[in-house]
Amino acid sequence: MVESLQPDPELEAAFWHRGKQRVVGLDEVGRGCLAGPVVAAACVLPPSFVPPLPVRDSKQLTRAQRELLAQVILEHAIAVTIGAASHREVDRLNVRRATALAMARALRRLGEWDHVFYDGLPMPEFSSPCFTAVVNGDERCLSIACAAIVAKVTRDRLMARLARRFPFYGWERNAGYGTAEHLAALEAQGVSPFHRRTFSPVGLSLNATHPRQSCSDQDLER
């Protein structure tokens, strides 16, 4: 049921009641994509925040719902920041380390904070007592769920912009994930400058003809 996936601020409240207001929800999107960056968001909510519709796993929401919620979150949050790791960094570092890098960049932009709840299993980069890993965090922690929504909306918009330069792959629809449409375009068109070379379906297409256009890290900025 939808209600079972509705996160509440219970985890954050344990810190709010001790006078600690800058409690962070941290999440990322794009780990499994064949193209584009990993994008992370850090979100600090006020205790009074009530979302206008159920906030749960961002992938279960429609695009219109995510856009609405992202706007509300940005308007009412104490702070929201974005960090990213480019497709090149994913290839150079591996996707797990690139994910940690994107999350760390979002936190650095945030400045001071009291505690961080982040989605997933414990990560060695975030092992101090100031961090708590929350499995299925976007279903259990309101701040994580809000961070996930902002991260996904930010990344989806970026991939839609890149799709105007590379229209073959349907990135405005699949956001770089390995859909049938995307895989068929990889086979027909080859690899773009924004594909992750170390990901298997992309590696198989490396020798195919592909659009000879350049890219820069500025294309990945928000």
Give the annotated binding-site residues. Answer: 27-28, 119
How far, in Å, CA of 187 to CA of 144, rounded? 37
CB 207 within 8 A of CB 214: no
Query: What residues are designated binding site for a divalent metal cation?
Result: 27-28, 119
Residues 6+ apart with CB under 8 A from 121: 133, 135
Residue 55 Cα to chain centre, angstroms = 16
How far, in Å, CA of 52 to CA of 55, rounded? 9
Residues 6+ apart with CB under 8 A from 125: 100, 103, 104
Residue 182 Cα to chain centre, angstroms = 20
How far, in Å, CA of 84 to CA of 36, rounded? 10
**For strand 23-29 and strand 38-44, is the pairing parallel, antiparallel, or unpaired?**
antiparallel
Q: Count of CB atoms within 10 A of residue 62's CB? A: 8
